[in-house]
């Protein structure tokens, strides 16, 4: 099973601040995803990233959010001007060649105060 | 109507019991079906996946898909305390990208 690490494990920020969440796949993959899980709620798709560009995004992924792969390895999710309702676990997932196989990282817990 | 529905539980069973976890869905475009296990404050861990209808077995786990009823199940035989977790079903449509649609998860506790 492919390994994915995410940093930081927990981020506390004040409302209105910008945060950058990082995902580091251990090996090369083509597809990357960000999902969000608000406490007690379901995992929700945010965005998929293929070949260095966004391939699909949900309604949640508005102008407040952006993704990039700045150095060819790390995959980042930037949230500008955070809101209280952005508090959630954010999971990065990677996909191998198989269509079913999305593997999730351990998540970053974002707390906006 | 939600696209994927899953009873949140909680479900509590004695060790050794057979556990049945279920999801229903409304969109017939779903063709790929996955089950994930999630421990508290951890990322979802892929357990099983199936394509279209049918059964798939892996050790103590069996996944079933009934597309005519839009119903999927995960069975756990000889349940162990280490199986205590939240189980998430996830689905993907055939023709629209790779977005997974998740159920809310069912919380399972296996009592020793």
**Residue B112 belongs to a domain:** no
Q: Which residues of chain B fall short of a pLDDT of 50? A: none
Q: Do B42 and A56 touch (CB under 8 A)?
A: no
| Cα B21 from Cα B10, distance rounded (Å) | 11
| Cα A35 from Cα A97, distance rounded (Å) | 20
The residue in chain B having the minimum alpha-carbon distance to the alpha carbon of residue A10 is B41
pLDDT (0 to 100) of residue A83:
96
Nearest to B3 by CA among B34, B31, B32, B24: B24
Q: Does B97 reach chain A within 8 Å, measured CB to CB?
A: yes
Domain boundaries, given as residue ranges, for chain A = 4-108
**Residue B54 belongs to a domain:** yes
- Closest partner CB to A56 (pick from B42, B44, B99): B99
Q: Which domain holds residue B19?
A: 4-94
**Residue B104 belongs to a domain:** no
Is the pLDDT at A71 greater than 70? The verdict is yes
pLDDT (0 to 100) of residue A88:
96
DSSP letter assigned to residue B83 = G
Is the pLDDT at A74 greater than 90? The verdict is no
**Residue B78 belongs to a domain:** yes
Tell me the backbone φ, ψ of residue A8, rounded to 5 degrees. -75, 170
**Residue B109 belongs to a domain:** no
Please give, rounded to a whole number of angstroms, the shortest distance from the CA of B85 to a CA of chain A. Answer: 14
- Closest partner CB to A95 (pick from B36, B96, B98): B98
Q: Is the peptide bond before A8 cis (omega within 30 degrees of 0)?
A: yes
pLDDT (0 to 100) of residue B1:
63
Q: Does B58 reach chain A within 8 Å, measured CB to CB?
A: no
Domains held by chain B: number: 1
The string of pLDDT tens digits covering residues A7-65 is: 999 999 999 999 999 998 766 667 889 999 998 889 999 999 887 889 899 999 999 99
Q: Do B41 and A56 touch (CB under 8 A)?
A: no
CATH number listed for the domain at residues A4-108: 2.60.40.10
Q: Does A20 reach chain B within 8 Å, measured CB to CB?
A: no
The string of pLDDT tens digits covering residues B26-37 is: 999 899 999 999
* Band (A99; pLDDT cuts 50, 70, 90): low
**Residue B111 belongs to a domain:** no
pLDDT (0 to 100) of residue B96:
63
Is the pLDDT at A96 greater than 80? The verdict is no
Mean pLDDT of A70-99: 88
The residue in chain B having the minimum alpha-carbon distance to the alpha carbon of residue A33 is B99
Tell me the backbone φ, ψ of residue A9, rounded to 5 degrees. -75, -30
**Residue B42 belongs to a domain:** yes
**Residue B70 belongs to a domain:** yes
Q: Do B101 and A91 touch (CB under 8 A)?
A: no
pLDDT (0 to 100) of residue A97:
66
**At B53, which CATH number?**
2.60.40.10
Q: Does B23 reach chain A within 8 Å, measured CB to CB?
A: no
Beta-carbon contacts of B7 under 8 Å, excluding residues fewer than 6 positions away, are B22, B106
* HSE toward the beta carbon, residue A47, CA cutoff 13 A: 20
């Amino acid at each position: 099973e492919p390994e994915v690490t995410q940093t930081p494990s927990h981020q506390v920020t004040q409302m209105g601040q910008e945060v950058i969440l990082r995902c580091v796949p251990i090996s090369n993959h083509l597809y990357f995803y960000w999902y969000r899980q608000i406490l007690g709620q379901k995992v929700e798709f945010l965005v998929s990233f293929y070949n260095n560009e966004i391939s699909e995004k949900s309604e949640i992924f508005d102008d407040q959010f952006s993704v990039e792969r700045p150095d060819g390895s790390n995959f980042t999710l930037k949230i500008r001007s955070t809101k209280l309702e952005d508090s959630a676990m954010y999971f990065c997932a990677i996909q191998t060649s198989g269509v079913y196989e999305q593997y999730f990282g351990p998540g970053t817990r974002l707390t906006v105060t | 109507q939600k696209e994927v529905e899953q009873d949140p539980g909680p479900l509590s069973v004695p060790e050794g019991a057979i556990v049945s976890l279920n999801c229903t869905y409304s969109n017939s475009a779903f063709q790929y079906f996955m089950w994930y296990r999630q421990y508290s404050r951890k990322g979802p861990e892929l357990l099983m996946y199936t394509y279209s209808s049918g059964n798939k077995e892996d050790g103590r786990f069996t996944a079933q898909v009934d597309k005519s009823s839009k119903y999927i199940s995960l069975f756990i035989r000889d349940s162990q305390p280490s199986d205590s977790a939240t189980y998430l079903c996830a689905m993907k449509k055939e023709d629209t990208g790779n977005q997974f649609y998740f159920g809310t998860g069912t919380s399972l506790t296996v009592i020793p």
